[in-house]
Structure 1
Amino acid sequence: MMSKVAASAFLSRNNELGNLQQSCIRILSFCESNSSRIGLHIHCPVIKLGLLENLDLCNNLLSLYLKTDALCNARKLFDEMPHRTVFAWTVVISAYTKSQEFVSALSLFDEMMASGTFPNEFTFSSVIRSCTGLRDFNYGARVHGSVVKTGFEGNSVIRSSLTDLYSKCGKLKEARELFNSLQNADTISWTMMISSLVEARKWREALQFYSEMVEAGVPPNEFTFVKLLGASSFLGLEFGQMIHSNLIVRGIPLNVVLKTSLVDFYSRFSKMEDFVRVLNSTGDQDVFLWTSVVSGFVRNLKTKEAVGTFLEMRGLGLQPNNFTYSAILSLCSSVRALDLGKHIHSQTIKVGLEESTDVGNALVDMYMKCSASEVEALRVFRSMISPNVVSWTTLILGLVDHGFEQDCFGLLMEMVTQGVDPNVVTLSGVLRACSKLRLLRQVLEIHGYLLRRHMDGEIIVGNSLVDAYASSSKVDYAWNLARSMGRRDIITYTIFVTRLNELGKHGMALSVISHMCADGVGMDQFSLPGLISASANLGALETGKHLHCYSAKSGFSGAVSVLNSLVDMYSKCGSLEDANKAFEEIATPDVVSWNGLVSGLASNGCISSALSAFEEMRIKGTEPDSVTFLILLSACSNGRLTEMGLQYFRAMKEIHNIEPQIEHYVHLVGILGRAGRLEEATEIIETMQLKPNALIFKTLLRACRYHGNLSLGEDMANRGLALAPFDPAFYILLADLYDESGRPELAQKTRNLMNEKGLSKKLSKSTVEVQGKVHSFVSEDVTTVEKTNGIYAEIESIKYEIERSGSSYRGNENASFHSAKQAVVFGFLYASPKAPVHVVKNKILCKDCHDFVSNLTRLVDKNITIRDGDQVHVFKNGECSCKRDETSFVLP
C-alpha cells in the first residue's frame, strides 16, 4: 500500500514539474525585450527545482536575457548549464560580439572548441566579426581554416564576413579574391566591400568598386551611398556632387540617414548653401541630423549659426545628445568662448550627460584651451567614470600646452596602470614634452615602447621622434631616423629646419631644401620662414631672394609668417629698402611684424626711425610685448639715448603691465654702463627682484673696462666667475682692464689662470655668400689653397692702396688676417662686380677690421655689409651706418 502511495506521489510531482517547465517555456516565449525581471523570477525556481537539465527551458531563458541586454545574467546561466547545445554557445558568443566585447567572444569560442561542440555557420559568422573588430588577422586566419575543414566555406554570409575581415586587416588582395568567389553577391556584400575600402583609406578604389557594382547590375542602397559620400569627403567636392547626382537619378529616397551624410559632406567643403538646401529638402529629421547640422556650422566656425541651430533643436523638442554637446563644446574650444563653455557644461549636468565620456573629453579640451588654468580641466577629468584613450590624450596634450611637461610622464604611467593603452597621438604629445625639456632618456624609452608595439611606422610618431632627438642635439640620430621612415612630409622637414636653426646650424638647415626636392615635398608657409631665417643668419642674401621668389610663385608671399621672415632677412643683410617693401605688403601687421621692422631699423643704425616706427605701432593699436622692449632698450643702448632708455624701461611695467625679465635688466645695465653711470648700474643689480645672471655681470664688467673702473670691474669679474667659472670672456675682459689700468703683471696672471683652466678665446669666424654658396673663414686660416692663393696677398695689397690714398689707417699687425677681412676680400674678389658683399661675424667687429672695410669702400664702388650679433654695419663710400661709436668695437 505504501509503495503505491509513494509511486503516485512521485508521478504527481513529475507531472507538476513537467507542467511547470512547459509553463515557464510558454511564459518566456511571450516575454518582450523589456521583461528581464520575469527572467530572474523564472531563473530562481529553475535552480531550486533542479530544472537546468531542461535544454529548451534554459535556451529560452538564455534568449530572454540576451534579448533584454542582460549579458551578465545570461553568462551566469550559461555557466550553470550542465549541457550546452551549439545554440547556447552561439547565442552567447553572438551577444558578446554585438556588445563589442570581442575578446570575451573569442575566449568563449576557444572553450566551445575545447568542449568538442561543433560550431555552425552563425557561430563562425559572429567569431569572424569579433576578429574583424579586434583587427586580429592571425586568429581570423585560423578560424578561416576551421570554416574550410567543417565545410562552411561556400556559405555566403561567412564569405562576406571573411571578406570584411581580410579587407579591414589590410589584406585587400585576398579580400578581393574572396569577394570574386561569391556567387550572386548581393547589395549588402558589395556595400560591405566598399565600406572596407573606405575604412582602409582606399577611396578611389571604393569609387571604382561602385562602378563595377553598377556594371554588374547590383542596385546600391542608401548605405552604399553613405559610404561613397564618406570617401568623397577625402577625394574632393566634385566626387561627392557626382555621387549626389547618382543618388537622385536612381531615385533613392532621401531618408534621414542620407540627409545626414550629405549635410556632413557639404559642410566639409564649406558649401553652406547646398548644406541648407539638403537639410530643407524633406521633412525627415532626427537628433542625429540636427547634430550633423550643428557640427557642420562648428566645422566652419559659424558660431551664431551653430548656437542658433542648437537652441532651435531644443525648441522643437529634440533633446541634444552627447555628440551635439560635444560639437558645441568643440566650438567653444576653437573660438576660446569660456563663458559659453561653462554654460554648456551646466546644461550637460542638468540633462544627465555629465558621465558621458564624449562630453567629458570635450569639456577637458575646452577648459584646457579656454582657461588660463588647468584646474577645471583636471576636475572634469578626475570626475569621469571611464576615461578612454582620448580623455587621457586630451589631458596630456593640454598640460604640455600649459607648460606642465613634467607632469605628462606621471600621467602616462597612471594611464597604462589603469589598463588604457596610449595611442600614437598620446605618445606624440609626450614626445613633445620631451622635446621641450630636452629629456633624451625618456625619448629613448618611448622609442623602445613604440618599436615593441610596432607603432613606429606612423608618420606622426616618426615626426615626433625626429623632433625629440633633434631637440636633444642628436641631429645625426634624428636624420638617420627620418631617412628610415617610409614616408617623409613637410612637417618632417619643417622640424629639421626649425631645430637646426635653434642649434645655429644654419648652413645645414638650408641643405634640407635639396632633400625636400628629392622627396617631392614642396615648401609651404610653415617651412619657408625657417629657411629664410637660416639665410638671414648666414647673410645669404642671394639664397634669401630665391626663397622670396619661390614664395611669390607658390602663392605664399601673402602669409604673415613669410613676410615677417623676409623683413628680418633683408634687415639683417642691410637691405632696408627691401625690408620696408616686405613690411608694407603685410595686410595686418602683428606684434612680430612690428618688432621685426623696429629691430631691423635699429640694428642698421637708424635709431630715430626705429623709435618712430614703435610710436606708429602704438598709434595703429598693436600692443607691444616683452620682445618689443628688448629691441627698444638695445636701440637706446646703441644710440646712447640714456634717458629715453630709462623711460622705456619704466613704461614696461607702469603703462604696459609687462614685468621686466633678466634680459631687460641686462640692457638697462648696458645703457647706464655706456653712459658712465656705473654706480646706478650697480644699484640696479643690487636692488632688482630677479637673481642676477653671469651676463649682467659681464655687461657691467665691459663698461668698467671702457671707463677704466678697476675696483668695480674686479668685483663684477669675481661675481660673474662664481656663476660661470668656465666663461673665458670674464678672464679676457679683466686682463684687458688690467692692461689698460697699468697693471700688466695682473693681466698676465689672469691670462695664465685662464690657460691653466684650459680655456681659450672663442674662435673668430666669418661667413660670406658668393654665387649662392656660403664660405667660412677663421682668423689666421691657412687651411685651403683657394684661400691662401691670393687672399692674404690681396689684403696686404689693399692696405698698401689705402695708405697711398692718404688715409691715416696703417693697420694693426695683430689683426692683419682677421676672419672678417678674409671674408670681405673673398667676396670682393669672387662675387659678381655689381653684387654687394654680405659678411656675418660671430664676434664683435674689431676697430681695425672696421676701419679697413670703411677705407676699402672709399677706394671702390662696392657696398659691404658686416653683421656682428645684433649690429649691422653697412659700409658705403667710406662711411658706416654705425656712426663709428667706439664702444661698438673690440681691440684687435
Structure 2
Amino acid sequence: MHMLCTKTATHNNFFSLCRFQETCMRVLSFCNSNSLYQGLCIHTPIIKLGLQHDLYLTNNLLSLYAKCFGVFQARQFFDEMPYKDVVSWTTVLSSHTKNNHHFDALELFDMMLGSGQCPNEFTLSSALRSCSALGEFDVGTQIHASVVKLGLELNPFLGTSLIEFYSKCGCNVDSYKLVSLVKHGGDVVTWTTMISSLVEDGKWGEALEIYVKMIEAGVYPNEFTFVKLLGVVSSFLGLVYGRILHAQLIRFGAEMNLVLKTAIVDMYSKCRRMEDAVKVFNLTPEYDVCLWTTVISGFTQNSQVSEAVRAFHDMELSGILPNNFTFASLLNASSSVLSLDLGKQFHSRVISIGLEDDLYVGNTLVDMYMKCSHITTDAVKAFRGIASPNVISWTSLIAGFAEHGLEQYSFQLFAEMQAAGMQPNLFTLSTILGACGKMRSPVPTMMLHGHIIKTKADVDIAVGNALVDAYAGGGMTDEAWSVMRLMNRRDPITYTSLVARLNQKGDHGMALKVFIHMRNDGIEMDEFSLPCFLSAAAGLGTMETGKQLHCYSVKSGFQRFNSVSNSLVHLYSKCGSTHHAHRAFKDMNKPDQFSWNGLISGLALNGYISQALSAFDDMRLAGVKPDSVTLLSLISACSHGGLLDLGLEYFYSMEKAYHITPKLDHYVCLVDLLGRGGRLEEATGVIETMPFEPDSMICKTLLNACNLHGNVALGEDMARRCLELDPSDPAIYLLLANLYDNAGLSDFGEKTRRLMKERGLRRSPGQCWMEIRSKICHFSTGEKINDDEVNEKLKFLVTEFRNRGYPYQENEDMLYHSEQLAVAYGVLNVPTMAPIRINKNSLICPHCHTFIMLSTQVIGREIIVRDGKRFHFFKNGKCSCRGHS
C-alpha cells in the first residue's frame, strides 16, 4: 500500500511538473512575442525545478533576455546555459548584430563553428549583416562559401543577405552578378533589397536595370520598391523617370500608404512640380507629420515661402503637431527670403513647443540668424542653447562669422571647436579655408594646410579646391598652382576658383592661360568657369579671344544662362563694341538686374550717354528694380556727358525714390560731377558733410577738377589732404605738378616733381597692349622696340604732321610713349579694314591724345583706345571724348 502511494505521488508530481513546464512555455512564448520582461519571473522556478536542461525553455528565456535587457545580460545567460543548440547560438548572435556589436557577433560565429554546431540560414544571415557593417569582405566571402557548402544557396532569405553584403562592401559587384544570386526569380523582398543596396551605393543606373529585370522575372514591385526608386528619381534622374514610376506604381496596384505618398510628393517637389505634389498629397485622407513636412519643405525648396507658411497653418488646423524637421524647413524658408521677423516668429513657436534644445532645430536657427541678421549675437545665443553641438553646429557658426567679414572670429571658433574635442569635417575645413582667402595674411592658410596634410583631408577634392582658392585669394598664386598639381583629381571648380582670383588681381593674361591647363586636364568649361574666362578676356580687351569663347558658349548651350550672357555684354562693352554687347543683351530670355547694369555701364563707358540713360528707362519699364550699382553708373555717365543737373537729380533721388543709401563711391562720383561742372565750392562742401571719412580717392577727384578749372589754392589744399592720407602715391605729386604747369607756375611744378623723386616715388610706366591674330602684344613707355619698320612708321607720321601743317608739338621724349608705339605697330599689322584697338593701363596723356587724333587723318583709319577710365574713339581727326578726360 505504501509503495502504491509512493508511485502515485511520483506520478502526480511528474504530471504536475509537465503541466508547469507547459505553463512556462506558454508564458515565455506570450512574453517573447510581446517583449514583456515579466516573463523573466519564470527563470527562478526553472532553476529550482531543474528545468534548465530544457533547451526550448532556455532558448525562449535567452530570447527574452536579449529583447528586454540587451546583449550583455543575454550573453551572460548564454554563457551559463549547460546545453546550446543552433537556436541558442543564432539567438545570441542575432542579438549582437541587431545592437551593432558586430565584432562580438563574428567572434560568436567563430566560437559556434569551433563548438561543432552547424549554422542555419538565420545564423549565416546575421553573420553576413555584421560583415556588411564592418566591411569584412574576406570573412563574408568565407561565409558565402559555407552557404554553398551547406546547400543553402537557393534560400531566398540568404540570397537577400548576400546581395546586401556584396553591395555594401564596396566591392564594385555589378548588377548582373547580383542578379545571379537570385535563384528561381526570388521574391519582392530580395529584389527590393538589391535595388536598395545599389541606391545606397550610388549606382542609380544599375538600380533601374535591376528594377527592369525584376519585372522581367515576373516579380511585381511593392510600395517599398517604389519608395527606393522614387528617392533616386527625385535626387538624380529627373521628372520624366518620376512620372514613369508614378504610372507604373498605379499599374501594379501598389498600396498608396503614407510612406509611398510621401515619397511621390517628395519626388514632385524636388522636380519643381509643386502643383503635382499637392494633387498627390490630396489623393487620400491619411496624413502624418512626415507628409506635411515634406510638402512644407517642397514649397521652401521652390521659393514659395508664403505657401509653405500657409501649409504650416493648415497642418496645425488638422490637429497634427509639427516636429523638429518641420520647424527646420520653416526656418530655412525664412533664411531663403532673408526675413528675420518670420524667423523670429518660428523661433518663438519652437520655444513654446519645447524644441529649443533640439540639435537639428538649433543648427537651423544658427544658420537663419547668421543669414538674416546683420549682427551675430542671436546666432551665438542659439548655438549656446544647443545641449550638445555637433560638427554641423560649429561649421554653421564659423561660416556665419566668415560671411559677416569677421574672419578672425571664425579662426577663434575653429580653435575652440577643436579644444572642445570636436574634429572638423571636410565642409568645416572648406569653410575656414574660405575665410583664409579673404585675409591678406598667408599664415592662417599655411597653418591650416599643415593640418589638412596631417589628417589626410587633402584627398578630398572639395578641400583641395578650397585650398587653391585660399592661396590664390591671398595672392600666393605659385602655392595655388602647386596645390592644384598635387591634387589627385581636379574639376571645373578647381580651375574656376583660380581664374576668378587671378581676375581679382588683374592678372587677366595668366587667367586666360589657365584654360590651356584645363583643356590638357581633359576638363570642359561649364556655366561657371566660362564667365570667368570671358571676364579675363574683357579685362584684356581681347576681342578675338572673346569671340572664340562666345562661339563655345553657343555650341555648348551655355548662352541660355544669364551669368554667361551677362559676361558677354561685359566683354563686348570692354572691347568697345556696343553693337555686339546690345545683341548679347537682346538674346537673353529674361535680363536680370546684373544684365541691365552691364548694359547701362557699358554704354556709358563707350561714351553713349543718352543711350545709357534710355536703357535705364527701359529697365524700369521692364519691372527690374535698380540698385546702387545702377545709380553709380548713371551718375558717372552724367559726369562724363556734362549733364550736371540730371546727375544731381539721380543722386538726390537715390534714397527718396529707390530707397538706396549712397555709399562712398557715389559721393566720389558726385564730387566728380560737381568738379567737372566747375562748382568746386559745392564739391568741397560734399566732402566736408558726407557721412564718411574722406579717402585719398575723393580728394584726388577734386584735385583733378581744380586742375581742369585752374583753382590753385583749393588744389593745394586737396593735395595736402591727399598726402596726409596716402603719402606714397606718386599720382598726387603729378596732379599737383600739372596744376602748377597749367597755371603758369612751372617752377613749382618742377619743384613738385623733384620732391617726388627725392622721396623715391616713381610713377608706374605706361603700358599698352593689343591683340593681333589671337596674340597679345605689349608696349612700354620709353622702351624703343627692335623693329625698324615701327620706328620708321613713327617718324613718317610725325613728318606728315609737319608737312600738312597740323598743330603738333614735336617731343623726342614723348615719341616713344606706349600708345604711340602701339599705333605704329597697329598700322603695320592690323588688317586695313579693321579698326586698331589699343588697351592702356592708365589715362592717355594729352600729347598722345593729339598724336592719335592726327594719325587718323593721315592713315584714314579708326583707332579705339581704352584707357584707365573710358573709351576714346578716334576717327577723321576727332575723338569721342570731345576733349574731356
TM-score bracket, shorter-length normalisation: 0.7 to 0.9
| Superimposed CA distance per residue, residues 466-510 of structure 1 (whole angstroms, 9 cap, x where no aligned partner) | 322221223343344445545544433433332221111222333
What residue in structure 2 maps to residue 831 of structure 1? 830
Tell me how far apart the structure 1 counterparts of residues 238 and 600 of structure 2 sit (CA, whole Å). Answer: 44
Tell me how far apart the structure 2 counterparts of residues 215 and 613 of structure 1 sit (CA, whole Å). Answer: 62
Q: Which moved more, 1:793-802 or 1:605-614?
A: 605-614
- Change over 3 Å in CA distance of 1:741–1:264 after alignment to 2: closer
Q: Secondary structure at the match of 1:839?
A: strand
Contact 1:78 1:88 in 2 (8 A): no
Tell me how far apart the structure 1 counterparts of residues 829 and 589 of structure 2 sit (CA, whole Å). Answer: 39
Give 1:186-205 correspondences, 5 Å limit. Answer: 186-187=186-187, 188-205=189-206
1:867 correspondence with 2:866:
yes
Tell me how far apart the structure 2 counterparts of residues 159 and 319 of structure 1 sit (CA, whole Å). Answer: 42
Alignment equivalent of 1:595, drawn from 594, 597, 600: 597
The one-letter code sitting in structure 2 at the alignment partner of 1:168 is K
Tell me how far apart the structure 2 counterparts of residues 382 and 454 of structure 1 sit (CA, whole Å). Answer: 31
Give 1:213-252 correspondences, 5 Å limit. Answer: 213=214, 220-233=221-234, 234-244=236-246, 247=249, 252=254
What residue in structure 1 maps to residue 805 of structure 2? 806
- Deviation, 1:839, is 1.2
What residue in structure 2 maps to residue 760 of structure 1? 762
Give 1:662-741 correspondences, 5 Å limit. Answer: 662-671=664-673, 673-674=675-676, 684-685=686-687, 688-703=690-705, 716-717=718-719, 719-734=721-736
Q: Secondary structure at the match of 2:173?
A: helix
- Change over 3 Å in CA distance of 1:39–1:742 after alignment to 2: farther
- Deviation, 1:762, is 0.4
Contact 1:163 1:175 in 2 (8 A): no
What residue in structure 2 maps to residue 206 of structure 1? 207
What residue in structure 1 maps to residue 360 of structure 2? 358
- Change over 3 Å in CA distance of 1:372–1:91 after alignment to 2: farther
Contact 2:639 2:673 in 1 (8 A): yes
- Change over 3 Å in CA distance of 1:30–1:557 after alignment to 2: closer
Q: Secondary structure at the match of 1:813?
A: coil
- Deviation, 1:575, is 2.9
Alignment equivalent of 2:497, drawn from 495, 498, 516: 495
What residue in structure 2 maps to residue 793 of structure 1? 792
Contact 1:791 1:825 in 2 (8 A): yes
- Change over 3 Å in CA distance of 1:587–1:186 after alignment to 2: closer
Q: Secondary structure at the match of 2:196?
A: helix
Tell me how far apart the structure 2 counterparts of residues 607 and 167 of structure 1 sit (CA, whole Å). Answer: 66
Q: Secondary structure at the match of 1:173?
A: coil
Tell me how far apart the structure 1 counterparts of residues 384 and 33 of structure 2 sit (CA, whole Å). Answer: 35
- Change over 3 Å in CA distance of 1:191–1:590 after alignment to 2: closer
| Superimposed CA distance per residue, residues 556-582 of structure 1 (whole angstroms, 9 cap, x where no aligned partner) | 545444443343333333333444444
Contact 2:163 2:181 in 1 (8 A): no
Tell me how far apart the structure 2 counterparts of residues 244 and 615 of structure 1 sit (CA, whole Å). Answer: 49
Tell me how far apart the structure 1 counterparts of residues 403 and 217 of structure 2 sit (CA, whole Å). Answer: 54
Contact 1:802 1:809 in 2 (8 A): yes
| Superimposed CA distance per residue, residues 191-227 of structure 1 (whole angstroms, 9 cap, x where no aligned partner) | 3333222222222222233444555666654433433
Contact 1:669 1:699 in 2 (8 A): yes
- Deviation, 1:772, is 3.2
Q: Secondary structure at the match of 2:778?
A: strand
| Superimposed CA distance per residue, residues 581-601 of structure 1 (whole angstroms, 9 cap, x where no aligned partner) | 444555665543443344334
Tell me how far apart the structure 2 counterparts of residues 172 and 146 of structure 1 sit (CA, whole Å). Answer: 18
Contact 1:533 1:568 in 2 (8 A): yes
Tell me how far apart the structure 2 counterparts of residues 521 and 215 of structure 1 sit (CA, whole Å). Answer: 39
- Deviation, 1:826, is 2.4
- Deviation, 1:880, is 0.6
Give 1:642-657 correspondences, 5 Å limit. Answer: 648-652=650-654
Contact 2:178 2:194 in 1 (8 A): no
- Change over 3 Å in CA distance of 1:236–1:668 after alignment to 2: closer
What residue in structure 1 maps to residue 173 of structure 2? 173
Contact 1:803 1:810 in 2 (8 A): no
Tell me how far apart the structure 2 counterparts of residues 338 and 875 of structure 1 sit (CA, whole Å). Answer: 54
| Superimposed CA distance per residue, residues 298-323 of structure 1 (whole angstroms, 9 cap, x where no aligned partner) | 44445566555555555555444444
Tell me how far apart the structure 1 counterparts of residues 413 and 22 of structure 2 sit (CA, whole Å). Answer: 57
Alignment equivalent of 2:470, drawn from 465, 468, 471: 468
Q: Secondary structure at the match of 1:814?
A: coil
Tell me how far apart the structure 1 counterparts of residues 223 and 128 of structure 2 sit (CA, whole Å). Answer: 25
The one-letter code sitting in structure 2 at the alignment partner of 1:852 is F
What residue in structure 2 maps to residue 881 of structure 1? 880
- Change over 3 Å in CA distance of 1:416–1:706 after alignment to 2: same
What residue in structure 2 maps to residue 429 of structure 1? 431
Q: Secondary structure at the match of 2:782?
A: coil
- Change over 3 Å in CA distance of 1:127–1:792 after alignment to 2: farther
Q: Structure 1 vs Structure 2: percent identity of aligned residues?
A: 47
Tell me how far apart the structure 2 counterparts of residues 659 and 245 of structure 1 sit (CA, whole Å). Answer: 55
Contact 2:840 2:867 in 1 (8 A): yes
- Deviation, 1:230, is 3.4
What residue in structure 2 maps to residue 778 of structure 1? 780
What residue in structure 2 maps to residue 576 of structure 1? 578
- Change over 3 Å in CA distance of 1:173–1:823 after alignment to 2: same
- Change over 3 Å in CA distance of 1:575–1:162 after alignment to 2: same
Contact 2:24 2:42 in 1 (8 A): yes
Tell me how far apart the structure 2 counterparts of residues 632 and 422 of structure 1 sit (CA, whole Å). Answer: 47
Tell me how far apart the structure 1 counterparts of residues 274 and 684 of structure 2 sit (CA, whole Å). Answer: 65
Tell me how far apart the structure 1 counterparts of residues 294 and 396 of structure 2 sit (CA, whole Å). Answer: 23
Alignment equivalent of 2:546, drawn from 514, 521, 544: 544
Contact 2:66 2:74 in 1 (8 A): no
What residue in structure 2 maps to residue 819 of structure 1? 818
- Deviation, 1:795, is 1.6
- Change over 3 Å in CA distance of 1:549–1:317 after alignment to 2: same
| Superimposed CA distance per residue, residues 170-204 of structure 1 (whole angstroms, 9 cap, x where no aligned partner) | 22139986885676684444433332222222222
Q: Secondary structure at the match of 1:592?
A: helix
Contact 1:152 1:158 in 2 (8 A): no
Q: Which moved more, 1:381-390 or 1:334-343?
A: 334-343
The one-letter code sitting in structure 2 at the alignment partner of 1:841 is K
Tell me how far apart the structure 2 counterparts of residues 185 and 393 of structure 1 sit (CA, whole Å). Answer: 48
What residue in structure 2 maps to residue 533 of structure 1? 535
What residue in structure 2 maps to residue 844 of structure 1? 843
The one-letter code sitting in structure 1 at the alignment partner of 2:511 is A
The one-letter code sitting in structure 1 at the alignment partner of 2:853 is S
1:388 correspondence with 2:387:
no
TM-score, normalised via structure 1 length: 0.80
Alignment equivalent of 2:271, drawn from 269, 272, 282: 269
Contact 2:175 2:209 in 1 (8 A): no
Q: Secondary structure at the match of 2:170?
A: coil
The one-letter code sitting in structure 2 at the alignment partner of 1:461 is V
Give 1:475-514 correspondences, 5 Å limit. Answer: 475-485=477-487, 487-514=489-516
What residue in structure 2 maps to residue 6 of structure 1? none
5+ long unaligned stretches in structure 2: 1-18
What residue in structure 1 maps to residue 164 of structure 2? 164
Q: Which has the higher contact order (CA 8 A, sep 6+)?
A: 1
Tell me how far apart the structure 1 counterparts of residues 402 and 195 of structure 2 sit (CA, whole Å). Answer: 40
Q: Secondary structure at the match of 1:838?
A: strand
5+ long unaligned stretches in structure 1: 1-18
Q: Which moved more, 1:32-41 or 1:873-882?
A: 32-41
- Deviation, 1:874, is 0.9
What residue in structure 2 maps to residue 8 of structure 1? none
TM-score, normalised via structure 2 length: 0.80
Q: Which moved more, 1:795-804 or 1:55-64?
A: 55-64
- Change over 3 Å in CA distance of 1:540–1:111 after alignment to 2: same
Tell me how far apart the structure 2 counterparts of residues 116 and 391 of structure 1 sit (CA, whole Å). Answer: 47
| Superimposed CA distance per residue, residues 698-738 of structure 1 (whole angstroms, 9 cap, x where no aligned partner) | 44444555666667656655554454343333444455566
Tell me how far apart the structure 2 counterparts of residues 534 and 325 of structure 1 sit (CA, whole Å). Answer: 44
